[in-house]
Amino acid sequence: MRGAASILSQILAEQCCNRTALKLRMTAWIVLHPSRYVRLAIASVFLLWPALCASQPQARGVLCSDGDGNYDAAFRTGVKVHVGAARHGGPATLATRACAAKLDWENQELVVAEGASKLDLDAFGVDLGDGVPTAAFQIKQSDSDCCVEYRVYSLERPPRLLRSIRGGDFFSASDTDLDGSVEIWTDDAAAVDGFEKLTLSEFDSAPTVVFRFAHGQLLDVNAEFQSYFDNEIAGIRAGILPQDLEEFKNNDGQLAVTPIPASAERLHRLRSVKIKVLEIVWAYLYSGRDGDAWRSLAEMWPPADLDRIHGAILKTRELGIHSQADGTSTGPPRRKKKHAPVFDAVGRSGPGRKLEVVPPEAILLQRPATSQQQAQPEFLDLVVDESGKVRSVEPEGKGKWVDPELMSAALTWKFIPAFKDGRNVASRMRIAVSAKQ
């Protein structure tokens, strides 16, 4: 358990004030290590989250933010991607600090976005399930927007827009359990922002949503990841004190009327319980277990307010990001998954030696500002899934010390994935990080 808690604490330090991203980083642990020790470690980290994060600023790496940042890459089909500052009024003028992205090929170009506040390339060259290499962008038009738009483009010539998904606070294509299937992890931020007069920032996270492309359709596959939701529910339940829950059940549910004059501290506790109850109900509901959702609601919500809140929850979900799916996977959770091969992308010397794959290429590697700067390069061994996301990180060689903050940051790095026989694959790679990077 000590090892699990140590790694989870490192993840927490990096993703502290972005609990939605933190949940995603923990998914591999939940799915691959379903022991009670890991469950306890996860629950303890979630319980400690509010205190540990109170004084830390939110940080989420993107390629371009308010006109700052630049990235260019080319795919084997001849299609190139550019992300950078949006130009206005001439080649040397930046009238506003904004971001733009485009795809170009054979002296032609397709504008992906322009004038955006934040712009990121989540995946490049990745087959999201339909046998087509794609580029996936996250676009936030304004800092005042709660959410981002996820646009998926084909990288075949001519490139074209395949799908646009709106309403999530974040999006991340990843193969969290290395079973060879890439899912798109997001949340239903737009739907719950303002629900019951609660702002998005008051929730620990919006309800998680997992999509997968199959045969040209976008499927909601939450039901296949029930173990993930179960661990999330366990962590939330552990944070509710019985006396606080009982006090919440004795009010009107909307916290508009309380039996006795309420102090600010008491109202805050009741509001916190209300949020946690909603998050539990959503976790059951979004993972395809309606009966468990409504039983939990009946157990924890003020009885006189049940009908009203039941209808409000249903309406919110119907209007949420789930409505953009073409269908829903209702199959049972996949318990025994076949692990995809992880190919060697570490260079080896000697005659006749060659790499198994075309190695990954970096998209975004951010070293934490607080990380200790070593005089000599630090070598990390990474497992990068077929979407280009880091699934594990270890120091190169047993017994070697590497800055823990650097290892934590490495879990957020993004790559163009490795390729073998023209297909994106998971790989094991080694990277040197120096103080100058």
According to the model, what pLDDT value does residue 404 have? 86
pTM above 0.85, yes or no: no
Long-range Cβ pairs for the range 37-43 (8 Å, 24+)? 37/1, 37/4, 38/1, 38/4, 39/231, 39/234, 40/1, 41/1, 41/4, 41/5, 41/8, 42/4, 42/8, 42/231, 42/234, 42/235, 43/231, 43/234, 43/235, 43/238
Q: Going residue by residue through the chain (437 aa), what tens digit of pLDDT does each one get?
A: 434 443 444 444 434 434 444 554 444 444 444 454 444 444 444 433 333 333 233 346 899 999 999 999 999 999 999 999 986 545 554 456 899 999 999 999 999 999 999 999 999 999 999 999 999 999 999 999 989 999 999 999 999 999 999 999 999 999 998 999 999 999 999 999 999 999 999 998 899 999 999 998 999 999 999 999 999 999 999 999 999 999 999 988 888 755 555 678 888 899 999 999 999 999 999 999 999 999 999 999 999 999 999 999 999 999 999 999 999 987 665 555 678 899 999 866 555 567 889 999 999 998 877 555 555 678 899 999 999 999 999 998 766 777 888 888 999 999 999 999 999 999 999 998 875 55
The number of C-alpha atoms within 13 Å of 434 and in the hemisphere containing its C-beta is 5
Tell me the two tokens of residue 74.
Answer: 């080319």
Per-residue confidence (pLDDT) for residue 265, from 0 to 100 = 86
Cα distances from 91 to residues 64, 88, 113, 126, in angstroms, run 18, 8, 18, 32
Which of 175, 208, 185 lies closest to 392 in space, CA to CA? 175
Tell how strand 99-105 and strand 108-116 pair up. Answer: antiparallel
What pLDDT does residue 154 have?
97
Q: CB-side exposure of 128: number of CA atoms within 13 Å?
A: 26
- Can you state the angle between helices 264-286 and 306-318, rounded to 10 degrees? 60
